[in-house]
Amino acid sequence: MVGVSGGPDSVALVRILGLLSHERGFWLAVAHLDHGLRAESAEDAAFVENLAQELGVECLVRREDIRDLAVQQGVSIEEAGRRARYALFDDVRARLGAETIATAHHRDDAVETFFLRILRGTSIQGLGGIRPKRERIIRPLIAATRAQILEFLDTRHIPYRIDASNLGVGTDRNFIRNRLLPVIAERFPDFSKTALRSMSLIRQEEAFLDRVAAGISSRAVSRSHGELALDTAALMGADRVVAARVLLAALYDTSGPGVRWKRRHVEAALAAISSDNPSSQLDFPDGITLTREYDRIRISRNRPSPAVPPFTVEVDGPGIVPLDCAGMRFEFRVEEGNPMTRDYPDGRSAAVFDADQVPFPLTLRSVGPGDRFRPWGLDGARKVKKILIDLKVPVSVRRTLPLLVKGSEILWIPGIRRSSAAPVGPETRSVLEVRLWEQPEH
C-alpha cells in the first residue's frame, strides 16, 4: 500500500515500486488523502487516480476537512493531516490485506526532521531521525536525496504535482527547509552528511538503551484483561532514563502509533510512580488512562472504573452463592462432629466458625462508612478502610470487596482475614466453613 500525494517524492516512489513489482513479484495499491486545504486538491486527487489507472493498480481516495479535524482534536493542521493520512493508510492496508505501508520520506526529510526536533525539543529517540522501517511502515527512498528523486523524474519526463504552499515558510518544516537549511549550507555544505552520521550514532546508542529497557520490561510489565500492569518497585529501581523508556513503550503498546506521546506525558507518569500518594489517576490523550494502585501502575484505554452501588446478598443456608458484582463465588458448608480432629484454613481463601454462634441467615455486603472489624489474633476493633489501606488493597478492588456479616458483626473480609468472632473450640459441635472459590485478579 503506497501513500501517494501526487508530489514528486510519492510519484517517484510508486513509479519505482511499479517497476520492481514485476521483477520481485509483489502487488501494489495506492491511497490518497484529499486534505481539502487547497483549491487544487481535487485536481491532485484526479491526478493520483489517473496515475494508478496507468499503473494498473487499485486506488482509494478519501477526502477530509483537515482544518475541522485540527479544531476537533486540538492539534495543528500539520498534525491533523498526519493523523488522517495514517488512519487512511491503515484502513486501506487492512481492507486489501497488504503487508506493508510505503511512504516517500527521503534523506532531506530526515535531515529536516532532525533540526525540527532539536528546535522543538526532543529525546534521544527523536534525534534518531526517521527510521527506514517502523512496524508495518517502510520508507524505501530514505537514503535518496530530493535532488536524486527530481533527476529520476525529469530524465524520464514523468509528470508530478507541485504544492505551492511547500515553497513558503508558513509552517515550521517549510521554514527549516526553505530558509534555515540554505543558510546553514552556505557555511557547512556537507551538513546533511554529518547530521545523518550523528543520527546513525544516536540510533546505535538508542538500540543499546532499548535492550536495557527490554530487560526491565520483561520483569516489570505484564498484560492482563486488555490492560498493562507495571511494577512500580522495578521501575523505581531502574535508572530514570530507562524507566521513562519502559513507560513510553507501554503507552505506545496501549495506544498504537496513532498517538504522539510527549515528554510531559512521560514525566507525569514518572511523577505518579515516585509520588507518596499510592492511589492516583492520569487521563492521557486518546482515552488512555494511567492508574497508580500502590505498587502497581495500570495503563488501559477507555476503561473508567464503573460506579458500583452498595450491595447486600442474604445467605439463607449452605450452598454456592455467586457474587457477580465482585467477580466472586462462595461455598457455605456446615460439618457436624468433633472439630479438633482436622486442620482449618488460614482465613484468606476460606474461614471457619462455630456454626451455633453464627446461625443462618448471614449476609454478604459491600464495605460501608465507619465499618469496624475485630481481626483474629489482635485486640480491639479497627476500621475496615484502614485495614485495606494498610494492606495496599487497590481502590478499584475495595469498591467491590464484600464483607461476610452476622447482624452488626463483621465475620470475615474474604481473601484477607477472619474476625475473632465465633471461634472454633473444644465445645464446638458443628463448623461453618465458608470458601472463596473464585476471585478477580488484583
For 367-387, write each residue's pLDDT tens digit.
999 999 999 888 889 999 888
Q: Which of 349, 361, 364, 342 is nearest to 424 (CA)?
A: 342
Angle at 316 (CA atoms; ends 315, 318), nearest 5 degrees: 85
Distance of CA 41 to CAs 7, 31, 159, Å?
12, 14, 16
The arithmetic mean of pLDDT across residues 82-92, rounded, is: 89
Q: Where in the chain do CATH 3.50.40.10 domains reside?
A: 312-438
Tens-digit pLDDT profile for residues 223-277: 877 789 999 999 999 999 999 999 999 998 888 866 878 889 999 999 999 988 8
Helix (H, G, I), strand (E, B) or coil at 193: helix
Q: Which CATH class is domain 312-438?
A: alpha beta
Average pLDDT over residues 70-86: 86
Cell (9 digits) for 171: 509552517
> Taking a C-beta distance cutoff of 8 angstroms, is the pair 247, 269 a contact?
yes
Residue 151, CA atoms < 13 Å, CB-side half-sphere: 5
**546513525: which residue's cell?**
200
Examine the pLDDT at 339 and tell me if it is beyond 90.
no
How many residues does this entry show for the chain?
442
Three-state DSSP string of 90-113:
HHHHHHHCCCCEECCCCHHHHHHH
pLDDT at 54 exceeding the cut of 90? yes
Q: What is the band of 341 on the pLDDT scale with cuts at 50, 70, 90?
A: low
Contact (CB, 8 A) for 238 and 246: yes
pLDDT (tens digit per residue) in 189-207? 999 999 999 999 999 999 9
Strands 319-323, 328-336: parallel, antiparallel or unpaired by DSSP? antiparallel
Q: Give percent above pLDDT 70 in the chain.
A: 95
pLDDT digits 0-9 by tens, 305-317: 556 688 999 999 9
Q: How confident is the model at residue 439 (pLDDT cuts 50, 70, 90)?
A: low
Instruction: State the amino acid at position 440 in one-letter form.
Output: P
pLDDT band at 113 (very low <50, low <70, confident <90, very high): very high
Which residues, listed in sequence order, are joined to residue 331 by a DSSP beta bridge? 320, 435
Within 26-107, strands assigned E span 29-34, 58-63, 101-102
State the fold for domain 2-189.
Rossmann fold (3.40.50)
pLDDT of the residue at 167:
80
Rounded to whole angstroms, how far apart are CA atoms 21 and 1?
A: 12
The three-state secondary structure class of 291 is strand
- Of 3.30.465.60, 2.60.40.10, 2.70.150.10, 3.40.50.10490, the CATH number of 205-301 is 3.30.465.60
What average pLDDT does the segment 71-87 reach? 86
| 418 vs 351: CA distance, rounded Å | 6
Q: 194 CB contacts (<8 Å, ≥6 apart)?
A: 188
Residues 6+ apart with CB under 8 A from 144: 106, 107
- Residue 318, judged by CB atoms within 10 A of its CB (0-12, 13-18, 19+), counts as middle
222 vs 228: CA distance, rounded Å:
6
Residues 6+ apart with CB under 8 A from 439: 327, 328, 414, 415
Q: What is the pLDDT of residue 398?
A: 81
Secondary structure tally for the chain: helices H, strands E = 15, 22
Mean pLDDT of 406-429: 92
What's the grid cell of residue 210? 532499548
> For the segment 122-155, what is each residue's pLDDT rounded down to a tens digit?
888 888 889 899 888 999 999 999 999 999 999 9
| Residue 442 in this model has a pLDDT that exceeds 70 | no
What is the Cα gyration radius of the chain? 31
> What pLDDT is attached to residue 241?
92
Between 86 and 30, the more confident residue is 30
Kind of pairing, strands 402-406 and 409-413? antiparallel
Round to whole Å and give the CA distance between 7 and 9.
6
Q: What's the average model confidence in pLDDT over 83-110?
A: 91
CATH 3.30.465.60 intervals, the chain: 205-301
Range with lowest mean pLDDT among 110-119, 128-137, 335-344, 345-354: 335-344
Kindly state the cell numbers that stand for 51.
496515475
* pLDDT above 90 (res 427): no
- In the predicted model, is pLDDT for residue 218 greater than 60? yes
Which residues, 6 or more positions from 154, have their beta carbon under 8 angstroms from its beta carbon? none
Q: What value does the mean pLDDT of the chain take?
A: 89
Mean pLDDT of 397-403: 86
Peptide bond into 361 cis (omega under 30): yes
